Structure 1
Amino acid sequence: MTMVTTGTYRGQPDGGLPAEVTSFVGRRHEVAEVKQLLFSSRAVTLTGFGGVGKTRLALRVGQEVRRAFPDGVWLVELAELDCPGMLAQAVAEALEIRDHTGDPPMRVLTRYLRDKQALLILDNCEHMVGECAELTETLLRASPDLRVLATSRQPLGIGGEQVVPVAPLPLPSCERPAPPLETLVKQDAVRLFAERARSVLPTFTVDENNRDAVTRIVHLLDGLPLGIELAAVRLRALSAQQLLDRLDDRFRLLTSGSRAVLPRHQTLRALIDWSYTLCLEEERLLWQRVSVFAGGLDLEAAETVCSGDGIARQDVIDLVIGLVDKSVLMREDHPGGVRYRMLETLRQYGRQRLSGSGGEAGLLARHRGYYRDLAAQARAELFGPQQVAWFGRLQKEHANLRAALDSWLSSPREDHAALSMAGDLLYHWITSYYLGEGRDWLKRALAADTEPSAERARALWAASWLAVIQADRPAATAMLDESRRIGERLHDEPVLAYVALFSGMVAMCEGRTEAAIELYRDALARHRRNGDPVGIALSLIRLTLAHSFLGDSSRAIAAGEECLSVCDAHGEGWHKAYTMMALGVEVWRQGDLVRAAELEKQSLTFNRSLGDRLGAGLNIEVLAWIAASQGHHQRAARLLGILETMWRPIGVPLSGYGHLARYHDECQAAMRQELGDAAFEVAVRRGAGMPVDEALAYALQEDRPERAAKGETPPLTRRETEIAELVAQGLTNREIAASLVIAQRTAEGHIEHILTKLGFNSRAQIAVWVGERARADGQ
């Protein structure tokens, strides 16, 4: 069985579109046109040059059509992706798919999307337009209900594509007599300038004194949203007239007095050139150096990579503040601290400047060295109180980690560093949704550096764990054999300990439980001699499960409790969560259902906070078995339905823990017998239809409104129930209004209330709900 699903716990049907942090100005006709085209065409591309507002337009359209796509509207940001071969992987990551099958990313995508009614927004396709075209055609052929909205500087060139050129914002007339002020301020370009100006100067307004200057400014900028925004920020220090004077002089110089004949992107380049010259010399230097980062950076990274050779480390913070003030860098608040991001256009500009200065190679070396050290530090601090913070930090730095690995592999005689770094990131690959990508990086590094070193042996056993999770036992066995040979040749005890551990996992997957226990014991003894708490914990977790599977309760409990002690002594959370899961299985087998449920809920609470989909799925599995043992048949069936959603994205149910599948099958068969086929299917569908956040809360039995606690939908009024039944009969809004002798607008309002109360996105879902309700009432 192969399954794929989302890999974090946002899980909302809007696909996690970013919130608009600034107002959306104008584009009413464009929004309407694109919406209409999306319902008549399966591929729509917004074209135009950098800074014209393609991305904002696409996001606004996505927000407005969400209800029409019950499986989500998903943004795929491609500006930071420099490797065309990673395109399908990037789309899978944006969809939050965590796949453990080992299949190529394109196959994973087509399998996941084949029955989905969703909208993909592919943003910034211009640097890999051919690859984006091929991916779009492949996905559309495989997924009949999929729509794709792309932004690019040129069309994708695929069959059936509808192209919408995105023009600059409409400009106010410069003719005399001038339009009234109230008319001028409603013009989109002027509105955008005024609103962005107020963000830096709250007292700013367009009035009779500055109206002419403002009109000329937006004309000089050709109505380009990015240009207008970059210019408006200068009002922090300049008046509108001073800003106009400087813009006018600068553009006249660049256009030789004939601005109209040059492409608009040269106008944007002129504006960026001008912004660059307004920076201090050290700020310009930092702008260039920050351009080597992908996906943003934090202050520590800026201080380490960008200091030296003209920038003192202690000055970096002031320079960062200066670039934030000048809107070159954007500040972003994250739970782990503040990060900074640069608009892609500005990043590319900085990279060109850096390349022209001759300093690019040195900065790239510092960048990849910093992230190699970061990965090594994360591995060293893996087992301890900073673990969760490290997991979160590595996820935010994923684009930079990817860029660093690629840089190491692209640099002559640097393959060894890539091998070490890819192995150091093992837990990043496992706990996030980058498992397939992590295995690919390890495969590339292993192919590039074939020397029988300790680093190669470690990379081999790390890659074998990923292969076990993906149920690729032959590959895991082959890598473990080579790792063992290197470990024996080098007398490397840590390598031999992990080889024994993961060989035990392979044996367990093959049904050789007693052999697995012997291997786990060998691994545990070696890890104890080496003083490795990570290896000790992993060995004890697996021993707990293996002893439990054989019915040896005393040994299972002893191993689990020892593992809890090890984790508590180090302030460790992730391995402890898996230990509680394993103990929960054995305690359930012993019949202590209350304690078993407590163990699973504690584990699930941690796994939910981390976003570990595999761990959460294991917890819900055991909670379903516990509910069945308690006689809570409806709850058990609903949890089994939730598992359909939880396991689908991972690709392999009970991935890496397949020996537990018999308990799942036994639970499912028992609940079907207790409830009857019809009631069982209704309960399973209700569980499968829950949003992920609600499903996890249900599994945890958290305090919430009575409707959620009972798994019931909120009550509809008598009129709403009547209208829901008419919707189920297939009547249109007009027909419903005529049938009930009410206004059509009133009928539409009732339907909106029904959708909101039930948490649905479409009339079809209302119809299904009515049918299920009728069947349940009939029983």
Structure 2
Amino acid sequence: MTSFVGRRRELAEARRLLSAARVVTLTGVGGVGKTRLAMRLADEVRRAFPAGVWLVDLTAVETPELLVHAVGEALEIQDRSARPALQVLVENLRGKQALLLLDNCEHVISECAELADRLVRHLPDLRILATSRQTLGIAGEQVLHVPTLPSDEAVQLFAERAQTVLRGFTLTGADRRSVELICARLDGIPLAIELASARLRVLSPAQVLERLDDRFGLLTTGSRTALPRRQTLREMIGWSHALCTKQEQLLWARASVFADGIELEAAEEVCSGDGISPEEVIDVVTGLVDKSILIREEHAHRVRYRLLETIKQYGRERLRELGQEEELRRRHRDWFHRLVARAEPEWFGPGQAEWFALLRVEQGNIRVALDFCVTERHEARSGLSMAAALCYYWIATSSLREGRRWLDLLLSLDTAPTAVRAKALIVDARLAILQSDFASAGPVLRDGRALAGRLDDARTLAMSMHVEGLGALIDQDLPRAVILLGTSCKRYEHLGDRMSAAISQMYLATAQSYLGDHDQAAALFDDCVAVCDAHGELWFKSYALCVSGIAAWRVGDASGAHALQLESIRLKRPFNDRLGLAMCVEVMAWITAEQGENERAARLLGAVANLWKSIGGPLFGYLTDHHARCEEAVRRALPARTFDDAVHKGAGLSLAALIELALREDAAAPEAAEPSPLTRREAEIAELVARGMSNKEIAAALVIAQRTAEAHVEHILAKLGFKSRAQIAVWMSERSRAQRPISVHDRTDPPVATA
């Protein structure tokens, strides 16, 4: 992130408004710096909100119905229930002093207004800070109009941004006068000033000024500063557009169909053709990065490019003028359809974590692709194929509600009796069952199985048996679960699908264990783990180990159960699997209570209660009795005050501290994170690395030489024993999270939950 310039008066006024009002909206022309001001304000008032400050970037929300989903994701709520999304949001925020930053509301202004009004009426401790080109228009809203920068701050901004593109740039003599006039011509609009400063790569300040005079002189006479500000920004962007080559202009327009970023491979496929060959795309992208049209960002070990919203809107207008919008949206959909189709068969394999991370990053683009399939009715079948192929993604991200929404919409649009529809019906039923919505799941499951039977679709029939058996298990109809899951195992084996068979086997083993067939259950659990090892799979293996540990504990093997839970927790750590972690910690509490460590058991019970609440559901039915007996036994063993204090202490543990408590043999919970091995400057640079900044960007932000920044990064890698910048980012994230109590908002990396 670049440095923040000026705005002292606006910051002070915004702080005053936020201290007195429940909803504050920053309004102003596009590019005036509303988001930067809101981010700075949020950072300054962070300590006043113990439950956190949460940024909700709405630029990629092109479907108003997904607004509440987007807010829930930003708040890191992993709710798996069938309750309405707004109800879940309210319940998870109730009693919490939090600040919600709704950024870029203008394209969903009515929905944002309705949401903000409902939230503040139900949540007296919540504050909302919004940025928009127009006000929300709700009762109690306070509005701060963000003006353009005054002359001195505008010149300072230009100079600081110029130093990032032209090392050693200083304001002297004639250059200062030229910069002052440039900023005046641009009405002090920050985005326009930043675009102009980027021209210093190839032009002097005087040349930039000359070209501004030429362009704006065509539009107005008299005072240049009388030019309407919205028109000024548009013309500044238009000037940047005119300075691009024909190929750069074309790629700019085509890239506007991407929701929240684009990778090079996607650009080569979607944006090439008719004037740009795939081989030329990398050079065109480089040119747009050099001209500050595309912003380069690092996500783990991958590089992405992003258009600012105002820049993207300009590109979309050009795309419409070219008559290519529908074609590019279809190409975009096709690319992500292929991406999802590749991910599905590789989900259970050694690349599982990488695929999950990629799909998570591309979620905005996937939504846009699905929305295209909904709005273009004849494309619904492709959408059905995508939504069904994302089955494990919906489950892993606890996005059951959103997955069902897309499937229900698309199933209503494409009613042809196809194999795609049969599979989509079964996936829809599976998501409903995982929400314990058996009333909705039953008819959908029957329709899917009947259609698969008519089509003689053996794989979908096996899947239907698996889903029905899973429903019977969750509903505690164990004999029926054994029959159905056993049948699905045999059918998957016949198809040669060992991984799907192993998933059915895990549920089958769970049912058999609770029916008393412990030896058969143990053999099936061992087989599940062996299949996972053969595939290089870790996520599902962690579940097999967890439920195997429950079976071992039930037959009196506390030591074996303890070891299995420890291994399961270790496997879950990279995935931030909250549901799986809750199951493991639950069992650890039972074991700990049996061993007489009652205070530690109470702390684990307090922590796991928070975990169950954060994922929006109670324990699975077959675990509730064990939990109740454990809690009752610990209550009897401890004085009431001691029990309550221990539960309270457990509920206040950070996610990292809870994992450490569960993994440690002694009863003492960690009180704080270990001291950092980094110096103060190294910690500062590590934070910038974690934000995805390059060495060049870090050097510019800290006003140090690029070689110095590179040396610091090398020292950080050496001290921490890491080999990549991505590892630094993960380490910094874990350290910052270790200081926060577990809440509905905690998340390390994208979450992975049970299948």
TM-score by length of 1: 0.84
Residue 618 of structure 1 corresponds to: 583
Alignment of 1:683 with 2:646, yes or no, is: yes
How far apart are the structure 1 equivalents of 2:220 and 2:618? 63
Tell me, what secondary structure is at the counterpart of 1:155? coil
1:700 aligned to 645, 663, 667, which one? Answer: 663
How far apart are the structure 2 equivalents of 1:667 and 1:30? 55
The amino acid that maps onto 2:34 is K
Counterparts in 2 of 1:423-438, with a 5 A limit?
423-438=388-403
Shift of 1:711: 3.9
Shift of 1:658: 2.5
How far apart are the structure 1 equivalents of 2:5 and 2:568? 46
Residue 253 of structure 1 corresponds to: 218
How far apart are the structure 2 equivalents of 1:585 and 1:201? 63
- CA deviation map 1:197-255 (0-9, x unaligned): 11112201112342111111111111111111111111122222122211222222233
Alignment of 1:396 with 2:376, yes or no, is: no
Residue 710 of structure 2 corresponds to: none
Tell me, what secondary structure is at the counterpart of 1:682? helix
- CA deviation map 1:130-168 (0-9, x unaligned): 221111111100101111111111111111111100001
Counterparts in 2 of 1:75-224, with a 5 A limit?
75-171=55-151, 187-224=152-189
Tell me, what secondary structure is at the counterpart of 2:87? helix
Identity fraction in percent: 50
Shift of 1:669: 1.3
Residue 237 of structure 1 corresponds to: 202
Residue 334 of structure 1 corresponds to: 299
Shift of 1:572: 1.5
Residue 472 of structure 1 corresponds to: 437
Shift of 1:673: 1.5
Counterparts in 2 of 1:695-734, with a 5 A limit?
695-701=658-664, 710-712=669-671
**Equivalent pair of 1:504/1:520 in contact (CA under 8 Å):** yes
Tell me, what secondary structure is at the counterpart of 2:128? strand
**Equivalent pair of 1:432/1:611 in contact (CA under 8 Å):** no
Residue 744 of structure 2 corresponds to: none
- CA deviation map 1:401-448 (0-9, x unaligned): 000011012113221111111000111111114221111111111111
Residue 63 of structure 1 corresponds to: 43
How far apart are the structure 2 equivalents of 1:117 and 1:388? 34
How far apart are the structure 2 equivalents of 1:197 and 1:652? 53
**Equivalent pair of 2:57/2:103 in contact (CA under 8 Å):** yes
Shift of 1:574: 1.7
Shift of 1:663: 1.5
Tell me, what secondary structure is at the counterpart of 2:614? coil
- CA deviation map 1:546-576 (0-9, x unaligned): 1222232211110111011111111112211
How far apart are the structure 2 equivalents of 1:606 and 1:256? 68
- CA deviation map 1:283-331 (0-9, x unaligned): 1111011000001111111111111111100111111111111111111
Residue 265 of structure 2 corresponds to: 300
CA distance change for structure 1 residues 349 and 709 in 2, over 3 Å: closer, same or farther?
farther
**Equivalent pair of 1:537/1:575 in contact (CA under 8 Å):** no
- CA deviation map 1:247-298 (0-9, x unaligned): 2222222334543333201101111011111111111111011000001111
The amino acid that maps onto 1:697 is E
The amino acid that maps onto 1:92 is G
Residue 452 of structure 2 corresponds to: 487
How far apart are the structure 2 equivalents of 1:260 and 1:388? 53
The amino acid that maps onto 2:270 is V
2:247 aligned to 277, 282, 291, which one? Answer: 282
Structure of higher CA gyration radius: 1
TM-score by length of 2: 0.87
The amino acid that maps onto 1:673 is R
Alignment of 1:658 with 2:617, yes or no, is: no
Tell me, what secondary structure is at the counterpart of 2:66? helix
Residue 526 of structure 2 corresponds to: 561
How far apart are the structure 1 equivalents of 2:121 and 2:595? 47
Shift of 1:598: 2.9
The amino acid that maps onto 2:589 is A
How far apart are the structure 2 equivalents of 1:635 and 1:498? 42
Alignment of 1:640 with 2:599, yes or no, is: no
Alignment of 1:414 with 2:379, yes or no, is: yes
**Equivalent pair of 2:187/2:225 in contact (CA under 8 Å):** no
**Equivalent pair of 1:307/1:313 in contact (CA under 8 Å):** yes
The amino acid that maps onto 1:129 is I
How far apart are the structure 1 equivalents of 2:282 and 2:585? 46
Residue 23 of structure 2 corresponds to: 43
Residue 682 of structure 2 corresponds to: none
Counterparts in 2 of 1:495-510, with a 5 A limit?
495-510=460-475
The amino acid that maps onto 1:687 is G
- CA deviation map 1:570-600 (0-9, x unaligned): 1112211111111121222233334323322
Residue 483 of structure 2 corresponds to: 518
Shift of 1:614: 1.5
CA distance change for structure 1 residues 205 and 342 in 2, over 3 Å: closer, same or farther?
same
Tell me, what secondary structure is at the counterpart of 1:421? helix
How far apart are the structure 1 equivalents of 2:377 and 2:439? 32
How far apart are the structure 2 equivalents of 1:424 and 1:165? 46
Residue 727 of structure 1 corresponds to: none
Shift of 1:336: 4.3
Shift of 1:339: 1.0
**Equivalent pair of 2:198/2:292 in contact (CA under 8 Å):** yes
**Equivalent pair of 2:489/2:505 in contact (CA under 8 Å):** yes
Residue 582 of structure 1 corresponds to: 547
**Equivalent pair of 2:80/2:398 in contact (CA under 8 Å):** no
Question: Which deviates the most, 629-638 or 495-504?
Answer: 629-638
1:313 aligned to 274, 278, 286, which one? Answer: 278
**Equivalent pair of 1:101/1:651 in contact (CA under 8 Å):** yes
Shift of 1:714: 10
How far apart are the structure 2 equivalents of 1:591 and 1:254? 85
The amino acid that maps onto 1:219 is A
CA distance change for structure 1 residues 713 and 579 in 2, over 3 Å: closer, same or farther?
closer
Q: RMSD of the TM alignment (CA)?
A: 2.0
Question: Which deviates the most, 152-161 or 205-214?
Answer: 205-214
CA distance change for structure 1 residues 521 and 296 in 2, over 3 Å: closer, same or farther?
same
How far apart are the structure 2 equivalents of 1:255 and 1:642? 66
Residue 340 of structure 2 corresponds to: 375
Unpaired runs of 5+ residues, structure 2, are 675-735, 742-755
The amino acid that maps onto 1:222 is D
How far apart are the structure 2 equivalents of 1:103 and 1:710? 35
How far apart are the structure 1 equivalents of 2:244 and 2:664? 56
- CA deviation map 1:20-78 (0-9, x unaligned): x2111111121121112111110111010100000011111111111111111111111
Number of residue equivalences: 679
Shift of 1:117: 1.2
**Equivalent pair of 2:155/2:183 in contact (CA under 8 Å):** yes
How far apart are the structure 2 equivalents of 1:605 and 1:213? 60
How far apart are the structure 2 equivalents of 1:202 and 1:690? 47
**Equivalent pair of 1:477/1:506 in contact (CA under 8 Å):** no
**Equivalent pair of 1:513/1:546 in contact (CA under 8 Å):** yes
**Equivalent pair of 1:450/1:456 in contact (CA under 8 Å):** yes
Shift of 1:607: 2.5
Counterparts in 2 of 1:345-356, with a 5 A limit?
345-356=310-321
- CA deviation map 1:700-754 (0-9, x unaligned): 339xxx9x95344799xxxxxxxxxxxxxxxxxxxxxxxxxxxxxxxxxxxxxxx
The amino acid that maps onto 2:387 is A
**Equivalent pair of 1:221/1:227 in contact (CA under 8 Å):** yes
**Equivalent pair of 1:385/1:571 in contact (CA under 8 Å):** yes
Alignment of 1:550 with 2:532, yes or no, is: no
The amino acid that maps onto 1:90 is A
The amino acid that maps onto 1:131 is E
